[in-house]
Chain A
Amino acid sequence: MANKDVLLSVKDLTVEYTSEGEVIHAVNHVSFELEKGKTIGLVGETGAGKTSIARAILRILPEPPARVPGGEIEFEGKDLLKVSEADMQKIRGKEISMIFQDPMTALNPIMRVGEQIAEVIKLHEHCSRQESIEKAKKMLEMVGIPGERFYEYPHQFSGGMKQRVVIAMALACSPTLLLADEPTTALDVTIQAQVLDMINDLKRKLNTSMIMITHDLGIVAEVCDTVAVIYAGEIMEYGTREQIFHDPRYPYTIGLFGSLPDLNSDVERLSPIEGLPPNPADLPRGCAFHPRCPYAGEECRKEHIELKDIGGGHLCRCCRLNEIAAGKAKEV
């Protein structure tokens, strides 16, 4: 991986929350790299730790109760966990920005939408008020909202338009890294399609790298180059989009595909993953997925399992791949 053009490199990132004396292990030793202009998808269920990873990168975790006891986040040669808060403020919104999940709460309800975009521009580009207003209007137009709606308030916009405002704000200073946290979950499908197309276009134009956090495998298929499947705060499987979609190996990933009703084929019954995600304050010993795993064996309960390369950079944290492959063969 040495000669790739790596923009962001996360190593051994750990995030904990302390609540009523209990330590909640939200993110456990997560490592990944992201190249310039590429998109990585972080996929997992509610509470898997996806959002905590993004917030740790931007250093906007609520501390306390959150704490980052270890790890490195290397971004353009700097370790973001070590830079001063003043420097971090210069990075936030300029070099790295975030699209939040819920456009209804991400905007200030008593501030004109245009002003909210202009504020970011003025802060980071040190330009005059007039220039920032001009640029904010341009940004609005870029996301398909007429510039004259600059002076309106969030409540005058529909959900899809609010999300586009949030995106315009995130892209206002042409960041090199965009963190998109479920950017379309609150939207209807036709509006979601518009927003995804727009993000893809803008990414291409500005050569922005992106971390796409989602639980929707369809969205991953449409926008991501590489995929990390997160379960109980750990990367369980990592690979290119093709590796994950054509040849999912980790039982949880396989289970996720089995849980999805398919638009193109007829299954009478879905095959859901039985049980529930583990309590992050009390993770099971060994593999965190073993209590729900249909292939779990003795060794899965004993010790922590390492992420192994199973060919071509496809990583998987499982010690029973042979048994699973045999099980697959049986089903066919």
Chain B
Amino acid sequence: MANPMIEVRHLKKYFNTPKGTLHAVDDISFKIEKGKTMGVVGESGCGKSTLGRTIIHLLESTDGQIFLDGKDITHVDKHQMHEINERMQIVFQDPYSSLNPRQTVEDVIREPLKLSKRYKTRAEIDQKTDELMKLVGIDERLRHAYPHELDGGRRQRVGIARALSLNPDFIVCDEPVSALDVSIQAQVLNLLQDLQEKQGLTYMFVTHDLSVVRHISDDICVMYLGQLVETSPAKELFIKPLHPYTKALLSAIPSTDIDHPHERIKLQGEITSPVDPKPGCRFAARCPYAAEACRQPQQLEEILPDHYISCCRARELNKDIL
């Protein structure tokens, strides 16, 4: 990858809890190329949102490095922070709680414009606000509406306009369509794709919805309990999943293809605790193929071109497709 917009190396984010240290993001490395979309999937509690928030400095990283456009931004002062905030933005999951109920649509979108030093006069700010509303498809008549007057899809458009207001390079989309009905979800997904094309945006798309992630991503990372278990080009992941967890995850999606029901890999038990985890593969407790070697720490290994997995039994289990 010649020109990554975002790169993280051995990124860690731990939280101290009364029960011990919670390893929310544990030693994750990847790159996202300019203008591309990296999908991050996993079940609730796997650390995917924490990962996004740590990259854009909403949370302070515990260890590791973060690069934006080739520049190390892991530790920055207040002034540089300002610049980072303009270049990296986030669209939150819940359009019901991520907008201030006492701000109108216009207020929400203008706030970043006012804080930035780029726009000097009120007329400039007004003009930019108009542009943004048009860009995300919010009617002019809703300019003075409050969030409670809008439906979920429109609220999410406001959230997107706010994220776009300072022409960022990189946007973390944290489950941006999970709270929306399917027909509205499709509208918002199309909008995000159009914006990416027009403005050359780089996305990190965090979601638990696998069909959405396949649709929108160029590459996908699969996370389990704070660790990266598999990363691959999006289409390939669905054709050739290699990690036992990815396979189980994919087989669990209810399919609308009623003629070809697929075999489901049944996982026993539930996600275990990420507090003070033991070394070794964290999925081993639920993995049908767990062996003695799985108790050792696992290495992320490139098994096919651009297709990495962290499973010591990968080669042996995937003999027939490799």
Contact = CB atoms under 8 A, between A and B. Distances in A.
B153 A194 contact: no
B319 to A, nearest CB: 25
A246 B190 CA distance: 26
A170 interface: no
B256 A215 contact: no
Interface in A199-232: 215-219, 221-222
A262 B216 CA distance: 11
Contact of B267 (A46, A194, A259, A274): A194
Contacts of B256: 217-218, 221, 245, 257, 260, 262
A297 B248 CA distance: 47
Contacts of B270: 158, 160-161, 191
Contact of A190 (B190, B235, B248): B248
Interface string B194-217: 000000000000001011101110
B258 A242 contact: yes
A86 interface: no
B182 A259 contact: yes
Interface residues of B, number: 39
A264 interface: yes
Interface string A27-58: 00000000000000000011000000000000
B139 to A, nearest CB: 12
A256 B183 contact: yes
Given A194-B266, A270-B189, A260 B182 contact: yes
Contacts of B187: 272, 274
B257 A221 contact: yes
A25 interface: no
Given A221-B257, A221-B258, A241-B258, A188 B44 contact: yes
Interface in B227-272: 235, 238, 248-249, 251-258, 261, 264, 266-267, 270-271
Contact of A261 (B153, B181, B211, B249): B211
A197 B264 contact: yes
Given A216-B254, A219-B254, A255 B211 contact: no
Q: Rank and list the top 3 A-B pairs by shortest CB-CB distance, nearest first.
A: A218-B254, A272-B186, A261-B215
